[in-house]
Amino acid sequence: MVSPLAVKGGEALRTRPWPAWPQPAPGVPAAVAEVLGSGRWSISGPYRGTDSHERRFARAFADYHGVPYCVPAASGTAGLMLALEACGVGAGDEVIVPGLSWVASGSTVLGVNAVPVFCDVDPDTLCVSPEAVEALITERTRAVVVVHLYSAVADMDGLTRVAERHGLPLVEDCAQAHGASYRGVKVGALATAGTFSMQHSKVLTSGEGGAVITRDADLARRVEHLRADGRCLSDGPPAPGAMELVETGELMGSNRCLSEFQAAILTEQLTLLDEQNRTRRANAARLDGLLGELGLRPQATSEGTTSRTYYTYAARLPEGALEDVPLTDVTGALTAELGFPVQPCYAPIPANRLYVPQTRRRYTLGPDHEARIDPKRFALPVCEDTARRTVTLHHAALLGDAEDMADIAAAFAKVLRHGADLAT
């Protein structure tokens, strides 16, 4: 007799623990202890005669991506806002962003008083396509943001051509793609600027944090000023005890700096990133085969992708299966079988309960602006269809082994087999 679904009182398919996340690198405790006793916990603290951990991480992260400049920031959200402002985006400008993404893809644009224009996505990669972006460009468009979503890399050849044809800065949001590459170049280094999040769930994390990378010296300097109250780091070391941040008066900013503790952790975590990404890729390939046999359609990536990063494993349910069952019931049943969270994919941002510009008085800039930022004006059929049929697993599951991948596939098979039970 086949056991009923765990959510219907049956026995769960799995009770063994899953890999934990985050997994601290061996050097993290010593690095944090060094900061603790250093007398300098932030870049705005007094210079102590040695490079700050923030400078060390910035060098390491820039070198990792093959670019000359990296400016760490307090969060991925901060990094996106810094990059947009550094590119000249401001009040009333339009910024084209994916309609399927974390809510910050829209709220960061609002945060610089600009207008997010939500773009539908490619049904296979779930990233914006060059054709869809170009169709939305108007005389008010000031920038395009591309998100490398879940495990896919967007079509950067086509997007770069569109941006160059219209003279627009192209910003890569790589919050979910640390270490991925396109035609041999790491993402973030392919456009005007690349932004990253180091929030708790990310494949490179210090709990919170972010960064902006670029090949453009002037843009990097603007980002530096914007994230440190209008100050930038001195060219050479100051006297011990003096401030390393110089008050240039070039550009007013705000405090969006990374702490020394976070920078120290990130420098150590970066040493594990490639190895962990290899493990995730190998397990994702196993899962592609196992779930493909069940009729699921794993997320694809663009043709130019040379290396994927799996922040989230995403797959579309088989056509004709579980169509009368709410996706949250499907993911709830999978979670109960595995003891590991399986989630629906993101809701389209205009329909996301977290995206409600009217709840913030700062965006009440007049009837015209309020009409332009009204989420109801966007129709995103591919995003909406994807959200109804796509399930996701966090990358921690991919740090397991072949037996773990078999358990995931077995849970999907069990839920698909008992679909009628979920419909009642």
Active-site residue set: 202
* Token reading at 214: 């670029």
Query: How far is residue 205 from each of residues 139, 271, 370, 371, measured CA to CA in Å?
Result: 38, 12, 36, 37
Dihedral-angle region of residue 343 (phi above 0 means left; psi in -120 to 50 means alpha; beta otherwise): beta
Biggest CA pair distance of the chain: 77
Select from 133, 212, 120 the least CA-distant residue to 166: 133
The amino acid that residue 144 corresponds to is V
CB 223 within 8 A of CB 239: no
Taking CA atoms, 265 is separated from 188, 199, 209, 241, 270, in Å, by 21, 12, 11, 24, 9
Say how far apart CA 27 and CA 29 lie, in whole Å: 6
Please name which of 202, 193, 247, 243 lies closest in space to residue 79, comparing C-alpha atoms: 193
List of residues 6+ apart from 363 with CB closer than 8 A: 110, 357, 369, 370, 373
d(CA 148, CA 167): 22
Which ranges constitute the DSSP H helices of 89-155? 104-111, 130-136
- Taking the alpha carbons at both ends of the chain, their separation in whole angstroms is 21
Give percent helix, percent strand, percent coil of the chain, each to the nearest 5: 40, 15, 45
Query: Rounded distance, CA 14 to CA 7, Å?
Result: 13
Residue 132 tokens, joined? 């869809």
Q: Which residues of 306-336 are buried (b: 16+ CB within 10 A; e: fewer)?
A: ebbbbbbbbbbbbeebbeebebeebbbbbbb
Best CA proximity match to 79, nearest among 217, 229, 226, 251: 226
**Surface-to-core class of residue 353, CB atoms within 10 Å of its CB (0-12 exposed, 13-18 middle, 19+ buried):** exposed
Phi, psi of 86 (to 5 degrees): -65, -25
